[in-house]
Amino acid sequence: MLDIRLIREKPDFVRERIASRGGDDAAKIDELLKVDAERRKAETELQQVQSGRNRLSKEIGGKKSRGEATKDLEAEVRKIGDQIVDLDQRSASFDEQQRNLLLEIPNLPHESVPLGKDPSANKVVREWGKKPKLADKVLDHAVLGEKLKILDLERATKLSGSGFICFTGAGAKLERALINFMIDLHTREHGYSEVSPSFLVRRDCMIGTTQLPKFESDMYGLENGELFLVPTAEVPLTNLHREEILAIVDLPKKFVAYTPCFRREAGSAGRETRGILRVHQFDKVELVKITTAEKSYEELESLVADAEKVLQVLGLHYRVIELCTGDLTFGSAKTYDLEVWSPGSRDGGTYLEVSSCSNFEDFQARRMNLRYKGADGKNKFCHTLNGSGLALPRLFAALIENFQQPDGSVRIPEKLQSYFGGDEIR
């Protein structure tokens, strides 16, 4: 969440930055400032009344020591006690209102983020590699998967309904090989610590990483909304040190984890939902960093490079996109997307997002009270970052499309062959 002091001291600046995202969230600032003023007024009154009661209590003690009557003063103290209860309740109510409003207000885009209302204003930062030269008839992943018997979407629907996947045979092995390859790359070459987290998290953890309350309808909740299936490993990884004060010498912390991801939203009907591109459950290798304000944007660039390395090693053409203000997610201050080339998708091919790398600055850390002790001895909120490293099954789809052969087989990239146990799917 945002720092209430920043909103209080620079309301116009906050409104302007939020308005650059689009929507009407900037209008919530006026309501928040009104509640904040009422909360501070109630707290001031409470402190004054408590001070008055303390003064009377001392006066009563003095009179009693001198044998003087204190009945009237004691009655006044009891009356003040009722006022304190009322003011305390009012203060707590305003405090809750303020927190709820803060949870609804998005993060401020970083000043370097391109201005724009929608994805059309996103900026292509760079491209890597070349599109493959394939046979005239390029098959998409759904057709390839069926022909090679590595996907069984019909039986997945029978088991779970639409929007689910069943990898079979060499497909299941390829999915597992990709996960193991990515985790080894990030731990051995990029210095991340591997974590195997639980796939269920508490409500507070979902609030901490901004999935709640705004996106609750997209999440799979259990136990009356107190537990949730993870929508991404970002949730357990970023919350590992919630409500802790870290030592600056231990930063940055870098975590990598594989989890399945569960999301109700699977997109609108149409060709985009064909095959395994938009589903309710998918596998993902996630990267998370916890660092300081001074280092967070340097860490963002290296995070993007770490995710890019997966595509480079696999030999897949991709591009890096810098999102404009209107396309940022709720909690992000700056985001880069990695989009891999998918020659079988749509007419003539398209790009598929396989990673979104974001700096949340201290937005998440404030929600989970995640801090570090600076060199000056003061406690400061950490900056948190995350990115897919990478997301399946879009990587799976792009890989089999890019490496399809004229005879209908799929070639396995050299660096993946030892994980897969072969050089082709036939």
Instruction: Tell me which residue of 264, 258, 266 sits closest to 288, measured CA to CA.
Output: 258
Catalytic residue among 278, 366, 367, 371: 278
**One-letter amino acid of 189:** E
Last residue of a domain, one of 104, 139, 164: 104
Domain presence at residue 303: yes
Catalytic residue among 175, 366, 394, 401: 394
Residues 6+ apart with CB under 8 A from 55: none
Identify whether residues 53 and 189 lie together within a single domain: no
What's the pLDDT tens digit per position in 83-122?
Answer: 888 888 999 999 999 999 999 999 999 999 999 999 999 9
Catalytic residue among 91, 296, 345, 356: 356
Identify whether residues 72 and 174 lie together within a single domain: no
Identify whether residues 263 and 392 lie together within a single domain: yes
Domain presence at residue 53: yes
DSSP letters of 63-95?
A: HHHTT---HHHHHHHHHHHHHHHHHHHHHHHHH
Identify whether residues 238 and 96 lie together within a single domain: no
CA distance linking residue 225 with residue 11, whole number of Å: 34
Identify whether residues 289 and 315 lie together within a single domain: yes
Helix H segments across 135-242?
Answer: 141-147, 153-160, 170-188, 203-208, 234-238
CA distance linking residue 282 with residue 304, whole number of Å: 21
Instruction: Tell me which residue of 373, 379, 305 sits closest to 336, measured CA to CA.
Output: 305
CA distance linking residue 4 with residue 54, whole number of Å: 31
Identify whether residues 34 and 141 lie together within a single domain: no
Q: What is the CATH number of the domain that holds 362?
A: 3.30.930.10
CA distance linking residue 105 with residue 93, whole number of Å: 19
Domain presence at residue 111: no
The model's confidence at residue 273, banded by pLDDT at 50, 70 and 90, is low
Catalytic residue among 353, 409, 411, 424: 353
Identify whether residues 394 and 253 lie together within a single domain: yes
Identify whether residues 332 and 190 lie together within a single domain: yes
CA distance linking residue 181 with residue 312, whole number of Å: 13
Domain presence at residue 29: yes
Q: Does the annotation count 5 as an active-site position?
A: no
83: left (phi over 0), alpha (psi -120 to 50) or beta: alpha
- Inform me whether the pLDDT recorded for 271 exceeds 50: no
Which contiguous run of DSSP H or E holds residue 368?
Answer: helix 363-368
Which residues form the domain of 360?
Answer: 119-425
CB atoms within 10 A of CB 278: 18
Instruction: Tell me which residue of 290, 287, 238 sits closest to 258, measured CA to CA.
Output: 287
Last residue of a domain, one of 76, 104, 132: 104
Residue 397 near residue 352 (C-beta atoms within 8 A): yes
**214: helix, strand or coil:** coil
Q: Does the annotation count 299 as an active-site position?
A: no
CA distance linking residue 378 with residue 360, whole number of Å: 21
Last residue of a domain, one of 81, 104, 127: 104
Q: Does the annotation count 353 as an active-site position?
A: yes
Q: Does the annotation count 154 as an active-site position?
A: no
Instruction: Tell me which residue of 137, 175, 154, 153 sits closest to 425, measured CA to CA.
Output: 175
Identify whether residues 71 and 153 lie together within a single domain: no
Q: What is the CATH number of the domain that holds 28?
A: 1.10.287.40
The model's confidence at residue 75, banded by pLDDT at 50, 70 and 90, is confident
- For all residues of the chain together, what is the average pLDDT? 94
Average pLDDT over residues 186-204: 98
What's the pLDDT tens digit per position in 332-373?
Answer: 999 999 999 999 987 789 999 999 999 999 999 999 999 999
Identify whether residues 245 and 355 lie together within a single domain: yes
Identify whether residues 240 and 273 lie together within a single domain: yes
Domain presence at residue 114: no
Instruction: Tell me which residue of 405, 424, 311 sits closest to 357, measured CA to CA.
Output: 311
* Threshold 0.85, pTM exceeds: yes
CA distance linking residue 295 with residue 139, whole number of Å: 44
- Number of domains observed in the structure of the chain: 2
Instruction: Tell me which residue of 217, 235, 2 sits closest to 109, measured CA to CA.
Output: 2
Q: Does the annotation count 15 as an active-site position?
A: no
Catalytic residue among 17, 21, 53, 263: 263
CA distance linking residue 207 with residue 211, whole number of Å: 6
Q: In the prediction, which pLDDT does 172 show?
A: 98
Identify whether residues 218 and 317 lie together within a single domain: yes
Domain presence at residue 366: yes
Domain presence at residue 289: yes
Q: In the prediction, which pLDDT does 272 show?
A: 58
- Inform me whether the pLDDT recorded for 289 exceeds 90: yes
What's the pLDDT tens digit per position in 314-340?
Answer: 999 999 999 999 999 999 999 999 999
Domain presence at residue 26: yes
